[in-house]
Amino acid sequence: MKGTNDMKTVKYLLAFFFVFLAVSVCGCSHSAKTSAEKAIEKDLDLLKNLDPATTMKYISYQELFPDSDDNTELSDDIKEVFTLFFRNFDYKILDLSVDQDQKAAFAHIQLTTLNAETLAKDFVSASLQNEILQAASGEKITDSNENSMEQRYLLLHSLLEEQTYDTVDRNVSIQLINHGSSTEPDWEITHSYSLENDLVGGLIAYLSDPDLVSPDKTLDVYLKTLQEMDVQQMSNYLGLDSILSTSDSAKNAIASALMEQFHSCFDYKISNTSVSGYSARVNAELTTFDSDSILSQYEKELNTYLDSADAVIDGSQKRYNKSHELLLDSIKNNEATITATATFHLTNDGASWKLEDAGTELGNAIFGTLTASPVPEDAAGDADYEEASDTDNSEENTEDTSSEDDNQDNTSDNSDETE
């Protein structure tokens, strides 16, 4: 009996030992998971509470715009960009596992951030619009202006302040490393490009995508920006100085009238796009003033004037000025519009899509036949002078012929006398 009791005692002790061991292992594992979870919560809660130091710990300002030329320290206003970005940030730990030696942990987390893809598209479009307007202002675009980190963050800051972006959920994986022991763990989130990108909702990857804004959307930016330009900006951007070879006062009046025509009727609809590698062709139906109708009316009025007695009396300079007045009136009085399909060519420079020779392509599509000046410098007056000159020359030729006849008569008389 005693041996039996001893056996029972040993069984009970072994069972207790294994239970104790299992509880100890589970306890250690649970402790490791808990401490790893707390390490995640500590940092992500700081991001959630808009802590700038934690933001800088995980996201480098240079990372968003790696090709920026400006490495100077950013102002406090610019540093507020990430505060604005994370104002609706949230997270949820879905699951967490710790490896056997408790030196590494892996967590699956649901991050809630603003829609970074929409923000990135807005940023690329706004950057292009600024570039177009800078060219329209007559300012020279330099690499320092175009690639300045300060300017880029200012633009990002204004978008985050002025626009409202929906939030999106994004499931990500995070790895942690234990720098302590199994009994006294010290967990730290492993930093990586992937983590930086995930924390900002993929914004870094979106901004580096050269196809983020498609060719048709890019053309849309050009056309919308064109609609918002004033007379001087359009004149600079579309090259109206070369389109209209007139005197300064006449040029300004005609350019203003053309801009009024443009703004009163311009509309567009992008129809289809074809892409081949780094090149794209985008077709758009443009509705604008009918330049053929303007020129037809102008030529009609000009011919009527040139056939009048007033044109003869006015002289060359007045006829030249009158031709400008008639063209200006034809533009102002025009109500005819025309819708035609124009094909635009875009190129991807490795950063984004751009319209080739933008000012010329847009100018030709909008002004049509008016791209060739209807009033050359020798117009109106000189044509009449040529006609008058031809008449004078005819009279002179008649006089010369008479002289030749007289000479022939004199020769005949001299011959008779000799005989």
Q: What pLDDT digit, counting tens, does each position of 147-178 carry?
A: 688 889 899 999 999 999 999 999 999 999 99
Q: Are residues 326 and 348 in the same domain?
A: yes
Domain assignment present for residue 379? The answer is yes
Q: What's the pLDDT tens digit per position in 266-297?
A: 999 999 999 999 999 999 999 999 988 999 99
Q: What is the mean pLDDT of residues 77-104?
A: 88
Across 278-315, b (16+ Cβ under 10 Å) vs e yields eebebbbebebbbbeebbebbeebbeebbeeeebeebe
Q: How many CB atoms lie within 10 A of CB 353?
A: 26
Q: What is the mean pLDDT of residues 255-274?
A: 90
Is the confidence at residue 38, as pLDDT, over 60? yes
Q: What is the mean pLDDT of residues 373-390?
A: 47
Domain assignment present for residue 170? The answer is yes
What's the DSSP call for residue 39?
A: H
Domain assignment present for residue 398? The answer is no
Q: Are residues 263 and 296 in the same domain?
A: yes
Give me 121's structure tokens.
């598209």
Do β-strands 104-114 and 167-178 pair in parallel, antiparallel, or remain unpaired? antiparallel
Q: What is the distance between the alpha carbons of residues 150 and 206, in angstroms, rounded to a whole number? A: 19
Q: Look up the domain containing 278 and give its range.
A: 215-385
Instruction: Check residue 388 and give its pLDDT.
Output: 42
pLDDT band at 402, cuts 50/70/90? very low
Q: Are residues 141 and 250 in the same domain?
A: no
Number of domains making up the chain:
2
Domain assignment present for residue 418? The answer is no
What's the DSSP call for residue 368?
A: G
Q: Are residues 174 and 233 in the same domain?
A: no
Looking at 207, 225, 246, the residue that finishes a domain is: 207
Domain assignment present for residue 273? The answer is yes
Domain assignment present for residue 127? The answer is yes
Among 60-69, 246-255, 272-281, the range of highest mean pLDDT: 272-281
Q: Are residues 337 and 241 in the same domain?
A: yes
pLDDT band at 116, cuts 50/70/90? very high
The string of DSSP letters for 204-220 reads HHHHT-TTSS-HHHHHH
Q: What is the mean pLDDT of residues 47-65?
A: 74
- Where do the H-state alpha helices sit in 49-170? 52-58, 61-64, 76-85, 116-136, 143-146, 149-162
Q: Are residues 86 and 153 in the same domain?
A: yes
Q: Are residues 68 and 177 in the same domain?
A: yes
How many residues does the structure list for the chain?
Answer: 419
Across 105-137, b (16+ Cβ under 10 Å) vs e yields bebebebebbbbbbbbbbbbbbbbbbbbeebbe
Looking at 157, 174, 207, the residue that finishes a domain is: 207
Phi, psi of 136 (to 5 degrees): -70, -25
Q: Are residues 141 and 285 in the same domain?
A: no
Within 8 A by CB and 6+ apart from 412, the residues are none
Of all residues in the chain, what percent carry a pLDDT higher than 90? 44
Q: What is the distance between the alpha carbons of residues 145 and 151, in angstroms, rounded to a whole number? A: 8
Longest CA–CA span in the chain (Å) reads 187
- Work out the angle at residue 97's Cα, subtended by the Cα atoms of residues 94 and 100, and round it to the nearest 5 degrees: 175
As a whole number, the mean pLDDT across the chain is: 79
Is the confidence at residue 355, as pLDDT, over 60? yes
* Whether 187 contacts 36, CB under 8 Å: yes
Instruction: Check residue 91 and give its pLDDT.
Output: 96
Count CA atoms within 13 Å of residue 182 on its CB side: 12
Closest by CA to 270, choosing from 190, 189, 355, 168, is 355
Q: What's the pLDDT tens digit per position in 127-149?
A: 999 999 999 987 765 555 556 88
Q: What is the distance between the alpha carbons of residues 162 and 98, in angstroms, rounded to a whole number? A: 43
Across 89-98, b (16+ Cβ under 10 Å) vs e yields bebeeeebeb
Domain assignment present for residue 406? The answer is no
Looking at 156, 187, 207, the residue that finishes a domain is: 207
Instruction: Check residue 254 and give its pLDDT.
Output: 83
pLDDT band at 239, cuts 50/70/90? confident
Q: Are residues 176 and 316 in the same domain?
A: no
Q: Which of 93-102, 216-225, 381-390 has the lowest mean pLDDT?
A: 381-390
pTM of the model: 0.76
pLDDT band at 244, cuts 50/70/90? low
Instruction: Check residue 341 and give its pLDDT.
Output: 92
Give me 305's structure tokens.
């004037």
Q: What is the mean pLDDT of residues 2-15?
A: 50
Instruction: Check residue 100 and give its pLDDT.
Output: 75
User: What's the sign of the alpha-carbon dihedral 266, 272, 275, 281?
Assistant: negative
Q: Are residues 109 and 230 in the same domain?
A: no
pLDDT band at 26, cuts 50/70/90? very low
* Whether 214 contacts 273, CB under 8 Å: yes
Q: Are residues 203 and 249 in the same domain?
A: no
Instruction: Check residue 185 and give its pLDDT.
Output: 87
Q: Are residues 197 and 220 in the same domain?
A: no
Instruction: Check residue 108 and give its pLDDT.
Output: 97
Domain assignment present for residue 412? The answer is no
3-state secondary structure of 268: strand
Instruction: Check residue 364 and give its pLDDT.
Output: 83
